[in-house]
Amino acid sequence: MSTGSFIESARVMWNLFFNKPAGTVPTGAIPVRKMSREQLLAAPDNTVFRLGHSTVLLKLHNAFWLTDPVFSDRASPISFAGPLRFHKAPISIEELPPIKGVIISHDHYDHLDRRSIVALAKKTEYFMTPPGVGDIIAEWGVPSEKIRQLDWWQSIKIGGVLFAATPSQHFSGRGLFGRNNTQWGSWVMLAPGFRVFFSGDSGYFSGFKRIGDEYGPFDLTMLEAGAYNEHWAGVHMMPEETVQAHIDLKGKVLLPIHNGTFDLSMHRWQEPFERILHLAQARSTRVSMPLMGEPVYALYPANVRRWWAQVDPTTRPQGLEGDAHPVLQGGGAAEL
């Protein structure tokens, strides 16, 4: 790294930790729709629930699958410091029904949470991880017979659902040392009548088009859209790139994730929602932006409600002319 690059990186990190602009944390309460086990058991197949950040609960082929489960109050190795949640999870781990499989994208603290994995170990049948990440959770006490470690382009069928490990453009590491000792990646989930893509974390790259060619079209893409910054665009997508990745993947409905739960960058907390909504309208892209805990029926998408605008009602969108435009969703206009 050149001296100039080092100085610039140091400046960015200083601002990230000690010089945050206003608006990166909500001033009001983020609405959360409480969930119950009874509701989940009664939900039809192909229902999806955002629980926060990149944690998504999917009901596929009459079983439950969970991505990057983080239920802790902080995305941090310690309980008293680090990014604090904006909202509680819509349901506790104890209240969840039995989980057929947990799908993990990589080992960063906002995606691989030790407390959550340990709590889920007894009620989860399988844990699917990139190479090396399975070794970490085995050290935490997850039985080795439950762990399936898949490298890029490997696949496995569990409970009638095909899971394929696919590439992403990111990195790994849980501290100052051991960077890139484990793999990272994205995941394809192919259930009867329902095709889903989960990005994990990734910069924009040509791999999205290849994944779309290999496994698309997708009924739902769950793509990173938050905690971005132009200084780390190689490993996190800007909103314009998120929408383009969805198009590359031949996606039908875009569910933006990696937002609305933790303060991990310098942008206003609600900016990803506004920018994605604006860009989706310009590209004629269907988008879903549910409340945390609200069911998403991706095959029958509902209208978008700008719920985030009511959290900080005095804050106007920046960089847009007025409110975000309506996005067509199954014949209806977004509720603004």
233, part of any domain: yes
| 317 has a pLDDT exceeding 70 | no
Structure tokens at 223: 């793509």
Which carries the bigger pLDDT value, residue 172 or residue 15? 172
pLDDT at residue 141 in the model: 98
Please write the tens of the pLDDT for every residue from 143-157. Answer: 999 999 999 999 999
> What is the CA angle 41-43-45, rounded to 5?
105
Residue 134 domain boundaries: 34-310
In a domain, 12, yes or no: no
Q: In angstroms, rounded to a whole number, what is the distance separating the alpha carbons of residues 102 and 290?
A: 22
CA 124 to chain centre: 20
Q: Confirm whether 202 is domain-assigned.
A: yes
Q: What is the pLDDT of residues 249-277, one digit of tens each?
A: 999 999 999 999 999 999 999 999 999 99
Q: Give the gyration radius of the chain's Cα atoms.
A: 19
Beta strand pairing call for 161-166 and 155-158: antiparallel
User: Cα–Cα distance between 163 and 147 in angstroms, integer?
Assistant: 14
pLDDT band at 301 (very low <50, low <70, confident <90, very high): confident
Q: Quick check: 207 and 188 in contact, CB under 8 A?
A: no
Q: Quick check: is 326 in a domain?
A: no
For residue 207, being part of any structural domain is answered with: yes
Residue 29 covered by a domain: no
Q: How many distinct structural domains can be found in the chain?
A: 1
- For residue 92, is pLDDT > 50? yes
Whether 170 is in a domain gets the answer yes
By percentage, how much of the chain surpasses pLDDT 90?
80
> Does any domain span residue 208?
yes
Residue 176 belongs to a domain with what CATH number? 3.60.15.10
DSSP E strands, the chain: 47-52, 55-60, 63-67, 99-103, 124-129, 147-149, 155-158, 161-166, 186-191, 194-198, 218-224, 251-257, 286-287, 295-297
